[in-house]
Amino acid sequence: MSTQVHILVVDDDEVTCNLLDEVLSKEGYAVDRALNGREAIGKGERTLYDVVLTDIKMIGVDGMEVLRAYRQKSPETIIIMMTAFGSIDTAIQAIKEGAYDYVSKPFKLEEIKLTIHRALEQNRLLQENLLYRQELITKYKLENIVGRSPLMLQVYKTIARVAESRSTVLLVGESGTGKELVARAIHFNSLRAAKPFVAVDCGSLAETLLESELFGHVRGAFTGAITSKKGLFEEADGGTCFLDEVGDISLTMQAKLLRVLQEHEIKRVGGTETIKMDVRIVAATNKNLEEMVAEKKFREDLFYRLNVVSLHLPPLRDRGEDIPLLADHFLRKYAAENKKPVSRISQEALDHLLLYRWPGNVRELENVIERAVTLSHSSIILPEDLPRRLRVEPVEAPPAFSLRISHCLNWKSYTFKRY
């Protein structure tokens, strides 16, 4: 164990302090001692401890006061309480006030070492999780969504307006237009950013499996349910649940989803307990739900619950001026990931990108650029690096505009010539 882990042992019994100092030092920890609560609080003013191991019953300033002082001034410090058998109630109160755990005297040294190890491991995982969430918040900032076309600017404005609200959002657009990316942007630019974002593809799961995934199940609810399991709605409590391809769910599941939106509660499959939750729903579909409502294939009441705020994501063929920006973004991404010195796209290759209709939208463009970077033998993407389907048509000026990209590195500037 690294000596960077700094532990303070607090006990008015000097023999106990000396013993724990010796044992924990052999484990590789840096150990300080304090023989009373006042001294422990004073040391905390000068040193940032990873762990404080403190007795509860001490003359004068007791362990509870030490706990409160550290919670106020050093909340990241792990506090472990030591208590005699008669003080268990106090130890439980300490946990309610923020202590990690307690050990009962007379304790086993292995128990002390194991408790500290578990506490440090849990703290490490927590810090990693916080860092990961911060990286996600940075990744999904609005300015990181690529595109400057008028249609995309309208998308950005809508995301900014709805992000901080509690309203349900319905994302409509063809496959590959970036609906999940927008859903994540809504979540990570909202007050729920520190809470979970949970995504589920409703179209890929059978009805019974989807119900179990969303609502969870109790033990014995069906064959194979050997333990109880939380559903994705519970996992997303306080955060956002993204329901992709919501137009594919059955009428039976639609009724159950409607209850979630109306009552903000669920029941696990096979269970009777009602579980309250606070989850924001962002749904997405590539289908026309209004037509499905008219055809009785989608519940009208659920449609209106989902369609509080509707956001249409334009297909890539309608935002051609974003193609160079997106292509450059993906080129940088995959050149870095594959450690390849590819720095730009030739004008001839770009012309092919601009002429193509992109039925798979942004997802297809990303795949094309990843392939081109992988296959390229030079620093420039050439037409022969592109799939054949992009090269079968003669290269002509696009009908709406002609775009010439400066051949400088990373396309720092480009101009449009409109017909």
Output the tens digit of pLDDT for each of the chain's 419 residues.
Answer: 445 799 999 999 899 999 999 999 999 999 999 999 999 999 999 999 999 999 998 989 999 999 999 999 888 899 999 987 656 777 778 888 888 888 888 888 998 999 999 888 888 877 776 666 666 556 666 666 788 889 998 998 899 889 888 899 999 999 999 999 999 999 988 889 889 999 999 988 888 889 999 999 998 888 877 888 889 999 999 999 999 999 999 999 999 999 999 999 999 999 889 999 999 999 999 999 999 999 999 999 999 999 999 999 999 999 999 999 999 999 999 999 999 999 999 999 999 999 999 999 999 999 999 999 999 989 999 999 999 999 875 444 444 444 433 333 334 333 333 32
pTM above threshold 0.75: no
Nearest-angstrom CA–CA distance, 299 and 295: 10
Residues 355 and 290 in one domain: no
Residue of 86, 70, 336, 306 lying closest to 202 (CA atoms): 306
Place of tokens 């290269």: 395
Reading the block at residue 315, the tokens are 């297909």
Total number of domains in the chain? 3
Show which of 132, 152, 176 is a domain's final residue: 132
Phi and psi, residue 201, nearest 5°: -90, 100
The answer to whether residue 278 sits within a structural domain is yes
Reading the block at residue 407, the tokens are 């051949």
* Contact (CB, 8 A) for 276 and 138: no
Residues 151 and 282 in one domain: yes
Residue type for position 152: M
Q: Which domain holds residue 371?
A: 317-418
Show which of 312, 341, 369 is a domain's final residue: 312
Residues 272 and 232 in one domain: yes
Residues 56 and 70 in one domain: yes
Nearest-angstrom CA–CA distance, 242 and 221: 26
Nearest-angstrom CA–CA distance, 265 and 276: 4
Reading the block at residue 230, the tokens are 């939380």
The answer to whether residue 1 sits within a structural domain is no
Residues 83 and 230 in one domain: no
Residues 224 and 354 in one domain: no
Residues 148 and 168 in one domain: yes
